[in-house]
Structure 1
Amino acid sequence: MKTGGRLQAAIEVLDDVEKHRRPVADALKDWGLAHRFAGSGDRTAIGSLAFDALRRKASNAWIMGEGSARAAVLATYALTWGQGLAGLEAALADPHAPKPLTKRERERLAADPEAVLAEAPDAVRADVPEWLAPSLASLWGERMVEEGQALADRATVDLRVNTLKGDRARAIAALAELGATASPLSPVGLRLPDLAPTAKPPHVPSEAAYQEGLVEIQDEGSQIAALVAGPRPGERVLDLCAGGGGKSLAMAATMGNRGAIFAYDTDKRRFGDFRDRAARAGTSIVELRPPVAGGDALIDLEGSIDCVFVDAPCTGTGTWRRRPDAKWRLRPNALDARMKDQDHVLDEAARFAGSRARIVYVTCSVLREENEDRVAAFLARHDGWRLADPLARLAPETAVVLSSFVGARDGVGPCLRLTPAGAGTDGFFAAVLEREDVA
């Protein structure tokens, strides 16, 4: 396919997303099944156009004066991808391309986008849903636009070195052809170079370092959240919302594969191929605890856990770089539902905590309503708990690196908060709660 055909395909995909209000990944998959002539390079380029158009859906609509899929794709190719008006018109000369530019579209694309956006509301400039702008403004103040724009960028590709199989130097050497380098915050993190918009990303699972269990794909923020838990060899850890188990594997490595980790999730399908991943990683201390119909799969763990790790269900606002379509599907009722879930799972965590235990509360959300507010609500409901320093169990050199991301807000603190603008990671929040009688 030539560029013009790819532009048309991206428009069709976005029209499908808007019409059926479904994830863009599903729409892209169905488009590929219906157009089997498209090669892998075509599908990569079409997907990149669609995702980048969604990342900046609001600002594209403001620049173009309309919010159609066509306008979004044209603006993405000409402006975000830097092809300019001339490059776009050349692409539109293809017989399979969208219709030629109208006079109005040409005028819009020829204008200085920065000057046009200077007149836009902050929610548009930040590319965030209008209904969430007041909450984000109260959180970030004058930095809201900067933070929102960083959430609209592409995500980095980060890897975690599995210290059960080797160290970071060995992993960097093994992935030299991919250009892997040490990531800036996590002591076990690697980062791959950014790619051009149409470049096909490397298939990390095909690398020997991945197949041998030396590395796992994991955002640096997620790595740090697992490190904050600070599990020691021999401890008993409950990963209460384990999902695919990535943080359980990370904690098992931190523990030197000594102790016990119980991984639970309300939907056992989320475990996926966890057993294969654990075997590849050389991890033997993680025990999956799927839900039991009509019973309590965790009743034997009550009051016996040293660290209850709560990677709480949330809106996922911190992952908008990876899931930009979810940003525009999010509604207030979904936030309300997640807050109720978070309160429930925190109350559950207290049930399993031993006399000297800690609860590590983590979300991949940037919203105060899901983070500090939920911690404050837990402390109001439960006597005998307090907030602890989230960096206390990290190596001193790592704690120093992360210290600028820890602070108190509205009387709730200290907590760890990471964002793409400040940390270069996905958005993550972490708070450590401990018994007040723990010395």
Structure 2
Amino acid sequence: MRLPGRLSAAIAVLTDVETRKRPVSEALKAWGINNRFAGAGDRAAIGNLVYDALRRRASHAAIMADDSPRALVLAVAVRDWGHDPAALNDSFATDDHAPEPLSADELARITGQLPDDSAGHILADVPEWLAPSLTRAFGDSWIAEGQAMAARPSLDLRTNTLKSQRERVLKSLARFNAVPTAISPVGVTMPAGSGDARTPNVTTDEGYLKGWFEVQDQGSQIVAALAGASPGEQLLDFCAGAGGKTLALAAAMANKGQIFAYDSDRSRLAPIYDRLKRNGAHNVQVRAPLPDALDDLVGKMDRVIIDAPCTGTGTWRRRPDTKWKLSPELLAQRVAEQAAILAHARRFLKPGGTLIYITCSILPEENDDQVAAFLAANPDFASLDPQSLWQAAFGAEAPAGVATAGAGIALTPRLTGTDGFYLNALRRNP
């Protein structure tokens, strides 16, 4: 397919997303099934157009004075991918699969600039109602944080130290120009490409099949390291999901001690079994979501890890469609769920144990506010110093800006080059 046909396809996919209210991944898959003539490069380019349109939806719509799929996709082609609008129009005239030519108004707008006095949420490419929350979280830097969250993410991998070393993984993936991550000592990264660049399919690599590495954002690797798990400990991963952090914890513990992996949703937990086998993680006991599944663990755990269900605002680079679906009602629902999980999970800690609260959110309602409410209701807990946690995990001072007012650690694309994550370590009195 040539560029005009790819643009038309991206407009069609984005229209499908908006009219049928379904995830981008589903709409792209459906388009691919219905258009089997399209090659892998075509599908990647179309996906990039759609995701880029959603990442900067607010600013592109403001420039174009139009938030239609057509306006957004054309804005990406010119403003993000650098195509000349006049040359685009010329190519449209000779391609039966092209969109309608750009109008005089579109041509005038598409190369314009946002006024300096544009609303902050437009400059930041975030929903307007979230501006107060982001201001509380980041102060005067909130617009820059939003802009960083509107960029493409890298592809990050975690070396499975139970089976391999980072140098071996880097050598295995040399054809993808893989490099070490900046913070995680076991991470490997492939920076995002531009335009129609394809993301490497590393899951077909020999190293992945042998269990040498897992796909895991560097931010997730960092919070797993900050959890401080040590060989020989008894640990409960209370919201284990598919097991990404469980596997990182098992490697950090060198397969010594015991991890109990639990999740209230059986379908989320299902992939963990194959992943444990491939990774050679032998100190993990999966507990199915039954009424009495964890009764024998009450008061016995050295650490309880809560990777809490959240709004996922920290993953907006990867799932930009969720940015525009988030509502105050959904945020309130997640906050209530987190409070209930914290209240329940604390029971499993022994005296002197540590509760590790993690979200993939950048919103204070789910992070510092949630921890403050927990501490007010549980005076036998206290937050550990974030600088000391970072020093213990990485042997260096924490990057500027990551320590929060509530003694938490906040990772963001702008501050750490990662997805957005939050961690607070809460020690129970002996």
| TM-score tier (shorter) | over 0.9
1:126 to 2:124 alignment: yes
Render the CA deviation track for 1:342-396: whole Å, top value 9, x for unaligned: 1011111211011121000000000001000000000011121101124545665
Residues paired across the two proteins, number: 429
Residue 34 of structure 1 deviates from its aligned partner by 1.7
Q: Which blocks of at least 5 consecutive residues in structure 2 are unaligned?
A: none
Q: 2:412 aligns with which of 397, 411, 419?
A: 419
TM-score (norm 1): 0.95
| Aligned mates of 1:141, 1:405 — CA distance in 2 | 11
Q: 1:196 aligns with which of 190, 194, 216?
A: 194
Residue 89 (structure 2) aligns with: 89
Cα pair 1:74 1:88 within 8 Å, conserved: no
Residue 166 of structure 1 deviates from its aligned partner by 2.2
Q: Secondary structure of 2:365's match?
A: helix
Alignment of 1:87-166 (within 5 A): 87-93=87-93, 94-111=95-112, 113=113, 116-166=114-164
Residue 223 (structure 2) aligns with: 225
| Aligned mates of 2:204, 2:364 — CA distance in 1 | 39
Residue 278 of structure 1 deviates from its aligned partner by 1.2
Cα pair 2:384 2:425 within 8 Å, conserved: yes
| Aligned mates of 1:66, 1:143 — CA distance in 2 | 27
Cα pair 1:230 1:394 within 8 Å, conserved: no
| Aligned mates of 2:194, 2:74 — CA distance in 1 | 18
| Aligned mates of 2:122, 2:29 — CA distance in 1 | 29
Cα pair 1:185 1:401 within 8 Å, conserved: no
| Aligned mates of 1:139, 1:392 — CA distance in 2 | 22
Residue 289 (structure 1) aligns with: 287
Alignment of 1:389-428 (within 5 A): 389-390=385-386, 392=388, 396=392, 398-409=394-405, 412-413=406-407, 415-428=408-421
Residue 358 (structure 1) aligns with: 354
| Aligned mates of 1:60, 1:117 — CA distance in 2 | 13
Residue 52 (structure 2) aligns with: 52
Residue 84 of structure 1 deviates from its aligned partner by 2.5
Render the CA deviation track for 1:11-64: whole Å, top value 9, x for unaligned: 111111111222111111111122222221111111110000000000010000
Render the CA deviation track for 1:270-302: whole Å, top value 9, x for unaligned: 12332221111111111111212xx23111111
Residue 110 of structure 1 deviates from its aligned partner by 3.3
Q: Secondary structure of 1:417's match?
A: strand
Residue 399 of structure 1 deviates from its aligned partner by 4.1
Residue 433 (structure 1) aligns with: 426
Residue 385 (structure 1) aligns with: 381
Q: Secondary structure of 2:398's match?
A: helix
RMSD: 1.5
TM-score (norm 2): 0.96
Matched to 1:217, the amino acid is V
Alignment of 1:60-79 (within 5 A): 60-79=60-79
Alignment of 1:207-218 (within 5 A): 207-218=205-216
Q: Secondary structure of 1:362's match?
A: strand
Q: Percent identity?
A: 48
Residue 9 (structure 2) aligns with: 9
Q: 2:169 aligns with which of 160, 168, 171?
A: 171
| Aligned mates of 1:212, 1:391 — CA distance in 2 | 36
